[in-house]
Amino acid sequence: MVTIYDIARHCNVSPATVSKVINNYKSISSATIKKVTNAMKELDYIPNNSAKYLSKGVSNNVGILACFRDSITPFTHPFFMEILNSFQLEMNKNKYELLFVSRNVAGNTETFYKNCISRHIDGVLMLGEMHNKEMAEVIRSKIPGVGFDYVGNYMAGVSSNNYELMAQLTEHVISLGHTNIVYIAGEPNEITNNRINGFKDTLKKHNISYENNIIQSRYVDLEDIELLTNELLKRKNRPTVIMYPDDYSAMRGIDTIRKAGLDCPKDISVTGFDGIEVGQIYYPRLTTAKQDTKKIGTLLAKQLLLEMKNKKSIEEQIIIPGSIVIGMSTAQLNNQHK
């Protein structure tokens, strides 16, 4: 590997001069700059940006800390991939590189926090289970951070208008004549609570009971979704609508309905949540709440850039409006088999 010492010998200058050329010092003559830069090209020298930035007290690296159950990762779920894509584009425009934070530190298993420190990250984007003990350690640290769907007092959070989206989705199925509506919610947290409240309040507004019509599950727990769906199909007063916590769960729900010899939406209408692309090419095309992943990712990046500039986290909740997508998985009640 070519070093600045090789460049210095090639140009007959000191290593300090080469370093000053790399770091754009104005005191170096244009002739020397030209000689050194030509040598760097000729010898295929690659500058050590880590050393360059660390000498200035920054690494220009941003950590991505994702803590999910084993079945979910940002690499396999298109919703999180879309967020990370727009986040990366914004960070790259500002000369930052992304590093995925793990528990591996110099070959040893350590905490997420120690990994962040060992890799000299300037800030961190957090996704997933915010109440996890190791995640909480990073959140409460002095590392500038921002979290998707984070609600708390230690760093900024960016999320969708979950209450309003769930209320609008519920209004939609009620407008189709449905009153026997079941909502299978995700695991308990602030975001899930907002969605449950949007569902409850909308039913109350229309004098519809929600007793026994809210069931707790987990996001993208497809085995549990299949089990719960089968239980609902066996109810004496079978629901005419099942609202699922996410689009993948909704698609598994529709598959389960089909296996039971029923049809969606003729027998049971279904809604999802997230608005991932696959839900719009699936049959029947999902009725769902679409989260604006492009804006979410961009705002997460801009917020983190601001915090890294100020060298501290900012307690702020940023809400990005989503939209309702009306697909083919919901139908008028009088068009369903009774």
For 130-142, write each residue's pLDDT tens digit: 888 999 999 999 9
188 and 259 in a single domain? The answer is yes
Residue 133 lies inside a defined structural domain of this protein: yes
183 shares its domain with 166? yes
Which pLDDT band holds residue 2 (cuts at 50, 70, 90)? confident
Q: In the β-sheet with 181-185, what is the strand arrangement from edge to edge?
A: 214-216, 181-185, 241-243, 269-271
* Mean pLDDT within 254-281: 96
User: Is the pLDDT confidence value at 258 over 60?
Assistant: yes
Q: Which residue range(s) make up the domain with 10?
A: 4-47
My answer on whether 118 and 178 are in the same domain is no
Q: Which position has the higher pLDDT, 132 or 294?
A: 294
pLDDT of residue 273: 98
Query: At 54, is the pLDDT very low, low, confident or very high (cuts 50, 70, 90)?
Result: very low
Residue located via tokens 């007959």: 12
The answer on 301 and 286 residing in a single domain is no
* pLDDT band of 211, cuts 50, 70, 90: confident
Tell which residue, 281, 294, 263, 295, has the closest CA to residue 325: 281
Instruction: For residue range 146-191, list pLDDT tens digits in order.
Output: 999 999 889 999 999 999 999 999 999 999 999 999 999 999 999 9
pTM for this model (two decimals):
0.81
Question: For 71-85, 198-212, 278-292, 318-332, which range has the lowest pLDDT when averaged over its residues?
Answer: 71-85
CATH no. for residue 31? Answer: 1.10.260.40
pLDDT of residue 90: 96
Query: Are residues 248 and 330 located together in one domain of the fold?
Result: yes
Any bridge partners for residue 13, and if so which?
Answer: none
Residue with tokens 């769902």: 288
E strand or H helix that includes residue 157: strand 156-160
The dihedral of CA 317, 322, 324, 327: what is its sign? negative
What's the mean per-residue pLDDT of the chain? Answer: 90
Residue 89, in any domain of the structure: yes
Mean of pLDDT values over 108-119: 80
Count, in order, helices (H) and strands (E) of the chain: 12, 14
Judge if 170 and 283 occupy the same domain: yes
Round to whole Å and give the CA distance between 145 and 308: 8
Task: Read off φ and ψ for residue 125, nearest 5 degrees.
Answer: -100, 130
Alpha helices (H) in 234-312, listed in sequence order = 247-259, 293-310
Q: Both tokens of residue 60?
A: 């220009």
Whether the CB-CB separation of 248 and 282 falls below 8 Å is answered with no
Helix, strand, or coil here: 317?
A: strand
Q: Does the pLDDT of residue 213 top 70, yes or no?
A: yes
Residue at 169 is within a domain: yes
- Name the token pair of 204: 């109350």
In a domain, 53, yes or no: no
Distance from C-alpha of 13 to C-alpha of 33, rounded to nearest angstrom: 11
Provide φ and ψ at 277, rounded to 5°.
-60, -40
Residue 153 lies in a domain: yes
- On whether both 39 and 144 belong to a single domain, the answer is no
pLDDT at 102 > cutoff 80 = no
DSSP string, 182-228: EEEE-SSSHHHHHHHHHHHHHHHHTT---TT-EEE--TT-HHHHHHH
Residue 283 pLDDT: 94
In this structure, are strands 97-100 and 104-105 parallel, antiparallel, or unpaired? Answer: unpaired
- 17-36 confidence digits (pLDDT tens): 888 888 788 788 889 999 98
**pLDDT confidence bin for 233, thresholds 50/70/90:** very high
Regarding whether 132 and 94 lie in a shared domain, the answer is yes
Q: Report yes or no on 55 lying in a domain.
A: no
Whole-number pLDDT of residue 22: 81
* Total number of domains in the chain: 3
159: three-class secondary structure by DSSP? strand
pLDDT class of 327 with cuts at 50, 70, 90: very high
Structural domain includes residue 225: yes
Confidence tier at 53 by pLDDT (50, 70, 90)? very low
Non-local (6+) Cβ contacts of 302 within 8 A are 90
Same domain, 269 and 173: yes
Closest CA to 125 of 276, 302, 292: 302
Considering the domain boundaries, does residue 54 fall inside one?
no
Give residue 338's pLDDT: 45
Domain of 286: which CATH number? 3.40.50.2300
196 and 246 belong to one structural domain: yes
Is pLDDT at 52 greater than 60 in this prediction? no
Cα–Cα distance list, 291 to 55, 89, 149 (Å): 40, 19, 12
Judge if 330 and 195 occupy the same domain.
Answer: yes
66 & 195 share domain = no
